[in-house]
Chains A and B, each alone.
Chain A
């Protein structure tokens, strides 16, 4: 396990383990409380598996009232709580703590209501993202945000991370596609923000919760908007002889007024890796591959395709192929969707980075990453959601080699700093979690972070809910010289530092 600073362990809690487990067993069905070593093992990590930690106990409540009782108990006894959805998060947001209860929402796996009249679905948070679409697609509807893990990731986790996906340029991320949530605060208060109508009045607390990475409350019900499936969806596969020409074409598509349903870029390293892996038929001579997906009515899509073709030809594309059937469209995506396993096949380990940059800075970012790859002597392949500027460099390394692991982490961190320098941010769709916690100081100054911490304090005064995530642990941040601590005096002595 790689080393990471976590909140100070409260040994009095560890000593009280059996008493706490006993009490929890009274708040929910006894089978829903796990405390033996072999029972806890599956919960030691999420999808950022380089970090592992055994929780004090795992509790799997079955309804909102149980969640409320459990949180109320933990609040009064000062027991930390780490919420967990499907555990597919890539930034360690659900990493357990030794002295914390891991609160799993896995039993919240039912869709509660499908309301076609109001175009929404009321669901429990443990239902998978794709599960929602599956429930409504026979009537011609779908749920728009489509993170790549949509088969497994839960809608509750999507709310926590504000997940997006290939289609987020046109259809937005989770925050733009939910209408309401029911949530339990750390002190056990059950609250409801929004509902089936648009734009709750007053403070947009639903907007605050969305993307808060489980630090402000535990979501127990979500109402999502469903959309009509578009009449026609077509994709174009376009190869370019240089990074610059491909990047320019992508920018020009956007600035010409086209809003594609999805637009993805892959670099040469990834084209080769994925084509070897999935035989997708990608143009292997291309330096850069652009996949553009367009949706709408038949003539709308035809019109857009014509415009895309013109732009790509103007930018010297070396190949251009249009999908003529649904099967062909899916085959265009097959390679892109195999990007991660393809890299997995090329090296013992790979590290998937996640950052955002302005679309126009793509060429600059890729060249910078190439330089860094040479500096650290580690191969890297890049995919990029060109529509929304979300970059995923995949660094390949051997995790058994301690030196390579260290270099990989440093390489990743430099990539994210490059993103910030180019006008972007350190996350795209994977959240901050523990992975990028210390990088928050790259983006935010002391005031910005203090404001966020004081929101946390106002809603979770004792800092018991998912502590140690998202915000830098002061000691480390100060060591790195990023937080201004004047004359050894903290600017806000009344605020806790997580």
Chain B
């Protein structure tokens, strides 16, 4: 308790030295005090994703977990306003009751961390900005944030945006907050755009016979006017028996062949238009009925949950990498990864989840170079216990780093909030 700070008595601090402010005013008072004392703090929610990013060097920990609850939900206006650390499960529950959803399909990082569901809070999710399989169609988390309130590094309560779709007056700070890993503001309130849930879904499985076909299929799928809302490639990786076993057990469905690589794509909507779209796509992709398998809605829904839970990498002890590239390079990268690293491809060819064995950590550098050469980037989402941080876990160039430092300075001049979580000096 050597760093114990005498902060306003109403702020509860538990035996682990964690502050639990109960509302926006308490967050503001706490940060204002820390600002005065030049004493940085780590910001956490429910701790479900705190393993992502660098370890912060701070004397304090502030949990926003108590700032939770739904403030205002207007299904007819397509928005929900919540306190920042409202659990995603709670939000999804009320939306489901009104047949609506968070269209960006939150990824459940609990599986890779602990082997069980833990979606955490909306503030944590917004701070990472990692959207699920529907991303290429509906946008990322940042595209669904209408506004927020929070406390900057000086203790000032600030807000931006509103509750309407065209809400940007002044700088669009909601975008800046998305993916900022809690380094700019401690969030206290978030307004999200919600969308109607589709009536039904079906998933079609196709089996590419070579690398070039992976790109060809993805390209035709994303070029079609019969819109799809998910497309993944799951490779076989025959040299790694453990991965194959895992893959076959995760994606065990009556209508899915095992021991082969496959592309799965999802079509959503009312039942008639689903059939129409699948027929159109079969023609456009030149597929015969014998070439494909179809998962009905009862198999389709769990299939995409497993994709978005990253279940093939459940409890991984290795490094897990998230790489985003322009989709035209998908075949090249698949070919490179085959039997080198376990992986799968989401977002119709843009997003790669890659597991790098802890004994092959030096390979991360090669992958980062490759991502940059393709015009993309990578993030080491989960590090193995031996990871030495020799290679930075985020990708940033010099100019962007300088600008990021300036932006950080404008929100948090003394670097009180999550210092070093993303980059050194930010």
Interface residues of A (CB under 8 A from B): 115-120, 140, 162, 164, 168-169, 172-173, 175-176, 185, 189-193, 195-208, 210-212, 216, 228-231, 251-252, 254-259, 296-300, 303, 356-360, 385, 387-390, 423-429, 432, 436, 440, 443-444, 447-452, 454-455, 457-459, 470-471
Contact = CB atoms under 8 A, between A and B. Distances in A.
A203 B407 contact: yes
Nearest to B136: A198
B301 interface: no
B229 interface: no
Given A115-B328, A201-B379, A202-B179, A358 B77 contact: yes
A203 B179 contact: yes
Given A201-B179, A203-B404, A427-B169, A448 B159 contact: yes
B336 interface: no
Nearest to B76: A255
B70 interface: no
A447 B139 CA distance: 30
A254 B78 contact: yes
Given A203-B404, A424-B162, 8 more contacts: A192-B399, A195-B375, A205-B407, A206-B175, A299-B272, A356-B164, A425-B162, A449-B170
Contacts of B327: 117-119
Contacts of A205: 176, 400, 403-404, 407
A332 to B, nearest CB: 22
Interface in B174-198: 174-176, 178-180, 184, 195-197
Interface in B267-302: 269-270, 272-273, 276-277, 280
Interface in B58-87: 74-78
A399 to B, nearest CB: 27
Contact of A207 (B178, B376, B379): B178
A184 B415 CA distance: 27
B419 to A, nearest CB: 15
B347 interface: yes
9 contacts: A119-B222, A190-B399, A195-B326, A197-B377, A199-B324, A203-B179, A228-B224, A296-B227, A356-B162
B410 to A, nearest CB: 4
Nearest to A164: B166
Contacts of B277: 297, 300
Interface stretch (B150-158, B246-254, B309-317): B150-158
B394 interface: yes
B163 A458 contact: no
A208 B407 CA distance: 10
B74 A425 contact: no
A350 B91 CA distance: 45
Given A202-B422, A423-B162, A196 B326 contact: yes
Range of interface residues on B (Cβ < 8 Å): 35 or more
Contacts of A176: 139, 143
B326 A451 contact: no
Contacts of A254: 76-78
Could you tell me the dominant secondary structure of chain B's interface residues? mixed
Contacts of A428: 166
B142 interface: yes
Contact of B175 (A168, A196, A208, A230): A208
A175 to B, nearest CB: 7
User: Which of A207, A429, A448 lies at the interface centre, i.e. has the most chain B CB atoms within 10 A of its CB?
Assistant: A207
Contacts of A429: 166
B409 interface: yes
B152 A455 contact: no
Chain B CB within 10 Å — which of A169, A252, A448, A450 has the most?
A448
Contacts of A298: 276
A259 B195 contact: yes
A211 B171 contact: yes
A436 to B, nearest CB: 8
Contacts of B404: 202-203, 205
A388 B162 CA distance: 13
Given A207-B176, A297-B276, A432 B170 contact: yes
B226 A168 contact: no
B159 A140 contact: no
Contacts of A117: 219, 326-328
A140 B407 contact: no
B243 interface: no
A185 B227 CA distance: 39
B179 A169 contact: no
Given A197-B324, A423-B163, A455 B410 contact: yes
